Chains A and B, each alone.
Chain A
């Protein structure tokens, strides 16, 4: 995912609370941030709200931003935290929206019931494991990128992905599904 870099004067003005600079940064990054959030929460309406929430948090924290660092990476980290907060408050009772399914046809070797059980087990993952599993196993994002977004080491991301796999296996086994 491309990280748009901004001229340093825009970043400096943003640090001082300049609204025009903030708008310039918003316009340069809103699509990227939305795309990142929607990959995590898999719900376009929630992702739009969380994009607004992310930029509100960014504006609120403008004085803490270091203009020598990447605005895109900082914004993505804030977006990941906002998405995590959302998952913590909405799960596990909320259904994953299915209007985002890719245009590919479902795999005929997997029954609807199995698909439903897998989706259910996935929803029951603790949010931090769910985010790591979504980004690493489904979206196939690089571990380093996930680590940067979560503010942890790549080792920690690997551990979370491992735990997510183990959790899913146990959940499926509990429902009578052997791998």
Chain B
């Protein structure tokens, strides 16, 4: 791709998706929303996640040789 092509792509992009102007201002204070989010209880871990975790732990306990394979795939 030559410099002219690069310039044309940039020009088309800017025309299609103009830069955000200085008019893009935050319209209201977000502190109440942040406080609400902080006060929200963290979601509980679903029961099937616990089952999966227990199954994985049991599997690794019975087959410790699988631990390096697990780390490899992680």
Please list the residues of chain A having a beta carbon within 8 angstroms of any beta carbon in chain B: 23, 26-27, 30-31, 34-35, 38-39, 42, 44, 48, 51-53, 55-56, 59, 96, 100-104, 106-107, 110, 114-115, 118-119, 122, 133-134, 137-140, 165-166, 168-169, 179
Contacts and interface: CB of A to CB of B under 8 A. Distances in A.
Interface string B13-39: 111111111011111011101100110
Mostly helix, strand, loop or mixed at chain B's interface?
helix
Interface residues of B, number: 29
B5 interface: yes
Mostly helix, strand, loop or mixed at chain A's interface?
helix
Interface of B: 1, 4-6, 8-10, 12-21, 23-27, 29-31, 33-34, 37-38
B19 A102 contact: yes
B30 A118 contact: no
Given A179-B5, A179-B8, A56 B20 contact: no
A-B complex: 8 closest residue pairs judged by Cβ atoms:
A102-B18, A107-B15, A118-B16, A34-B26, A179-B5, A52-B33, A56-B37, A115-B16
A137 B14 contact: yes
24 contacts: A30-B26, A38-B24, A42-B20, A48-B26, A51-B30, A56-B34, A96-B17, A102-B20, A102-B21, A104-B18, A107-B15, A110-B15, A115-B15, A118-B12, A118-B13, A119-B16, A122-B17, A137-B9, A138-B18, A138-B19, A168-B9, A168-B13, A169-B1, A169-B9
